[in-house]
Structure 1
C-alpha cells in the first residue's frame, strides 16, 4: 500500500525565523554571558499597576470580556491619544490586542491580500517580514542608511511603490536603529498614501522613549484629515509590562471593527485583569515612566562614550528607544561571525545587524536597557576583542 506522509504547510515551512531569537537561544549555552540582546526594560512593573491587576483578580475579573477590549481601556487609550495627537479619537477607533505583535497581525490582516506588496524599512524588526510572509504577501525592503542618520526617506519609499502596494510599515522611534523620523518625511509618505491608496502601518511602541531635544511625531499627527493609517502601541516598553502582553491599534472605525472578529477567531479576548492594570497605567501617575526614560538616557551616554572610544567601532547617538546600532565594519567580520566570536571567546551576547535585514550587515545592535555595570562590563569585553585582533 502507498503510505501518505504528513507535511507542514509552505507558510510554516518557509517562515523566516528571527535571528534575534536564534542568538538568544545560542546564548542560553553561556549562562554567565553578559547579555545586550533582548530589548526588555530591566525595571519591574510599577506598583500601582500591579496592584490594579491584583485587585481585578480578587474581584473575579477572570472571565471572558469583549473581543475588542473592555470599554474602560479603549476609552482611556482614546482619551490619551486624542490629547497627544490633537484629533478626535473615540473608543471605536481602538482595538486592544495581545501585545504589539498581534496588533501588527491585525493591521496587516485588514489591509493586505495574498500577492500584494508591503514596503518595510531595512534594517527593521524582523517579525515584519514574517507577518507579511504569513499572509502570502511580498515584503519590499527599502534601505535605511547611516548617512541619513538612520531615518527612512520618503523618496526611497516612493521609488518602491507599485500598483500592488497595499501598505507601508514605518517604525519610529526605530528598533533597531534608535532614530526618530522627521515630520517632513512623514508628511510626504502620507501624501504618497493618499495618492496611491495604500495604508501606513505605524509601529510606535517606543513613542515615549525619546531623549534630549528629539521630537517624535506620530503618523496620526501629520494632518487632521489624514486617515490612511493604523498606529500600533504597547504597554510593554513604556510601563515595563512586557509579560502582561497588552498592546493596541488605533485607526479608522472601518478597519478597527473587523479586528474584533479576527480576535474572536484567535484568542477571544485579552484577560480583563490585564486590561484593568493597563487602565491604571494610563490613568495613574506617570513618574515611573519619566524615571525610566531618564535612566535609559544616562545609560545611553555610558555606552556611546565607551563604544566610540574603541578602535574600529563607532555609533550614532540614539535619539530614542534603548538600542544602539553600532558600526563594526572596520573589524572585517560579518555581523553574525562577530556576534558568534564575541559569544564564544568573550562571553558577550549581542545581536548581529543582519538579523534586521541585509542593510544591517556590518552592525551590531546593543541594548542599553541593562545596568551601567553591565554596560561597562560589555564594553570591557569589546575592548578585549579589539586588542586581540
Structure 2
C-alpha cells in the first residue's frame, strides 16, 4: 500500500511514494513526458542492487529512505520541502547522500545521544566507544594554563592584546604559531625531519585540510585510492563537496591489513575500468581504524607507486603523536629525505595533513594543517583557507603552549603512558570476553575481531551483531563495514574518550553478552543433540519392529 502526490511542473512530475506497513520508507521518483513509464521501469530494475533509490525533481542525486523520513518528519517541513523543490530554490547538495550521514558510523552516535551513559544520572545508558577523542590528558594543558596567565588571558608582558587578536588578521596565520607548530611536528618525529613554516597552510581541522587538498589536486570525477579499512568520515571529507571519487585498495587480515603492490595495482586498474582518472593515494599513518603504524617498506612501496604512475600521495599523520609502543612512527617526509628525493618531481607530489585534535586532544579548537613542498599547492590552499581559518585567539594561545618545550616533552611522555595503559585494559577486557584484536601500537582505538560471533560470514550478520551491541549491550562501536573493510566481523572500539571505570563497565557488559551467546549456542546444540538422539531411537525402534514383523511373517 502507498500513496502518491503528483506535482506538475511543465512536462515533469515529482512523485512522492510512502511505502511499508509502518510507513518507514520514503521514495521520490521523477517522471518526464512520455518517457516517464520507461524511466520508472529502469529505476525499478536498478533497485535490485540499490537500496531505497530516490531522485528529487529533475535532479539525479540518490537519497536513502532514512534521510527522507527525517526530512518529512513533520507536515510543515514536508510542505516547505515540497514548495522549495517545485520552485527550484534548493541545490542538489541539500539532499545529496554522499555526506555519509546515514552510515552506521554516524547512526551509532545518534543512538548514543538519545541515551548517553552517565554513572549517576543514567547508568543503563549507551557507552560511547565510537568516538576517537583523547580525554585522558586534559589535566596537563589545564595545569599549564593555570601557570601561564598571559597566554590564558590573551596578554603579553601583562598587557592585554585582546584588541590586537580580535581584529582582522592575515589569513596566512600568525608567524609565531606556524613556527611553533612545525617545531612540534618535528619533535613528534624525533627531530629526524624539520619543516619549513612557509610550506604550511593552517586549516580548521584535518577535515578542512583533506578537503582543501582534494580541491587543489583533483577535479570532480577524478579518483583517489584509499587502503581499506579507512576512516568513515573520508566519504564526507573527500567526496561530498568536491565530487572526487574514492576507489578502495583492498587490504585483508591475512597480512594485518598491510598495503601490497598487487592491491595497489588492482585498485588503479579498477579506477581505469570505471574511466576514472587517478590523481593520488591517501593513507592515514598511524592508521585509523587499525591503530598501527605503517612499516618503512610500505612507505617505500607507496613512493615507488606514485613515482611510476606520476600521481600524488597524501599522508594523513594526525595520529603521529599517539604512538605508545614499538615500532615507532616513520613519517613519509623522513623516507623521502632518506632516499634523497628532494630534487626529484615526486618531492612536490607528497603532502602531509596534520592536526592537534588527536595528539593534544583539542578537536574543539579546530586546528589543522597542510604541509606541502609544492609552492603552487601552498599558494592555492592558502587562498582556500580563508573559508576555514583558525581563530587568532587560538593561534596565540597554542603558540605559547607549543613553544614551551618542557611542557610538550612532559605532555608527550605522560600521554603515551596513559594511552598505553588504557589500551592494555581494553585488550585485557576483550580477552576475558574471548575476543581478540589486531595488535596495535598507536591511535585511540583497537581493531577488534568479532568474526566468531557472527551468525554467518556476511555484512548483514555484522550489522545484526552491531545492532545487538548498540541496543542490547548498550555500547556504541563502529562496524567494519562503515570503514569499508573487505571482511565482515571487524569493529573499531575507542578507549581514550572514557574513564577507566567506564571502560571496565563496558567490558563487563560485553563479556556478559558473549557469555549469553555461548549459553544460547550450547542450549541450541543440546536441543539439537536431543532431537538427533530421539530420532535415532525412533529409527532403531521402527527398524526393530519391521524386522520383528518380517520374522513373524516368515514363521
| Alignment TM-score, normalising by the size of structure 2 | 0.65
Q: 1:350 aligns with which of 470, 474, 477?
A: 477
Query: Secondary structure, in 3 states, of the residue corresponding to 2:280?
Result: strand
Q: Is the radius of gyration larger for structure 1 or structure 2?
A: 2
- Equivalent pairs counted in the alignment come to 386
Query: Secondary structure, in 3 states, of the residue corresponding to 2:254?
Result: helix
Query: Secondary structure, in 3 states, of the residue corresponding to 2:239?
Result: helix
CA contact (8 A) 1:235 1:278 kept: no
CA–CA distance in 1 between the matches of 2:95 and 2:243?
11
Please, which moves more after superposition, 26-35 or 7-16? 7-16
Q: 1:217 aligns with which of 323, 327, 330?
A: 330
CA–CA distance in 2 between the matches of 1:191 and 1:293?
32
Q: CA deviation at 1:49?
A: 5.3
CA–CA distance in 2 between the matches of 1:82 and 1:37?
30
CA–CA distance in 2 between the matches of 1:94 and 1:328?
41
Q: CA deviation at 1:234?
A: 0.8
Q: CA deviation at 1:356?
A: 0.9
CA–CA distance in 2 between the matches of 1:339 and 1:280?
44
Q: Closer, same or farther in 2 for the Cα pair 1:80/1:40, shift >3 Å?
A: closer
Q: CA deviation at 1:350?
A: 1.7
Matched, 1:335 2:448: no
Q: CA deviation at 1:68?
A: 2.6
CA contact (8 A) 1:173 1:206 kept: yes
Deviation string, structure 1 residues 196-238 (Cα, Å, up to 9, x no partner):
1211111101101112221211111112223321111111111
Deviation string, structure 1 residues 323-349 (Cα, Å, up to 9, x no partner):
111111111153332222122222222
Query: Secondary structure, in 3 states, of the residue corresponding to 1:133?
Result: coil
Q: 1:9 aligns with which of 92, 96, 100?
A: 92
Please, which moves more after superposition, 102-111 or 339-348? 339-348
Deviation string, structure 1 residues 262-317 (Cα, Å, up to 9, x no partner):
122x23x3111111222233222121222122111011111112212323x21122
Q: Between Structure 1 and Structure 2, which shows a larger proportion of helix residues?
A: 2
Aligned to 2:416: 293
Q: Closer, same or farther in 2 for the Cα pair 1:107/1:53, shift >3 Å?
A: farther
Aligned to 2:258: 151
CA–CA distance in 1 between the matches of 2:365 and 2:329?
25
Aligned to 2:51: none
Please, which moves more after superposition, 81-90 or 12-21? 81-90
Ranked by relative contact order (alpha carbons within 8 Å, sequence separation 6 or more), the top structure is 1
Query: Secondary structure, in 3 states, of the residue corresponding to 1:118?
Result: strand
Aligned to 1:200: 313
CA–CA distance in 2 between the matches of 1:246 and 1:12?
29
Q: Closer, same or farther in 2 for the Cα pair 1:5/1:93, shift >3 Å?
A: closer
Root-mean-square deviation (Å): 2.3
Aligned to 1:246: 367
Q: CA deviation at 1:5?
A: 4.5
Matched, 1:38 2:131: yes
Aligned to 2:166: 62
Q: CA deviation at 1:53?
A: 5.2
Q: Closer, same or farther in 2 for the Cα pair 1:152/1:319, shift >3 Å?
A: farther
CA–CA distance in 2 between the matches of 1:5 and 1:227?
43
Query: Secondary structure, in 3 states, of the residue corresponding to 2:329?
Result: coil
Q: 1:139 aligns with which of 246, 264, 272?
A: 246
Q: CA deviation at 1:143?
A: 1.9
Q: 1:307 aligns with which of 430, 436, 445?
A: 430
Deviation string, structure 1 residues 42-69 (Cα, Å, up to 9, x no partner):
1326033585653327521122222232
CA–CA distance in 2 between the matches of 1:69 and 1:80?
16
Aligned to 1:279: 399
Q: Closer, same or farther in 2 for the Cα pair 1:242/1:345, shift >3 Å?
A: same
Aligned to 1:231: 352
CA contact (8 A) 2:318 2:358 kept: yes
Deviation string, structure 1 residues 78-116 (Cα, Å, up to 9, x no partner):
334456464553222101110111111111111111221
Query: Secondary structure, in 3 states, of the residue corresponding to 1:366?
Result: strand
Please, which moves more after superposition, 32-41 or 15-24? 15-24
CA–CA distance in 2 between the matches of 1:153 and 1:305?
31
CA–CA distance in 2 between the matches of 1:219 and 1:6?
46
Q: Closer, same or farther in 2 for the Cα pair 1:350/1:53, shift >3 Å?
A: farther
Please, which moves more after superposition, 79-88 or 238-247? 79-88
Q: CA deviation at 1:148?
A: 1.6
Please, which moves more after superposition, 254-263 or 38-47? 38-47
Please, which moves more after superposition, 30-39 or 109-118? 30-39
Q: Closer, same or farther in 2 for the Cα pair 1:160/1:367, shift >3 Å?
A: same
CA contact (8 A) 1:166 1:198 kept: yes
Aligned to 1:103: 209
CA–CA distance in 2 between the matches of 1:380 and 1:82?
41
Q: CA deviation at 1:76?
A: 2.2
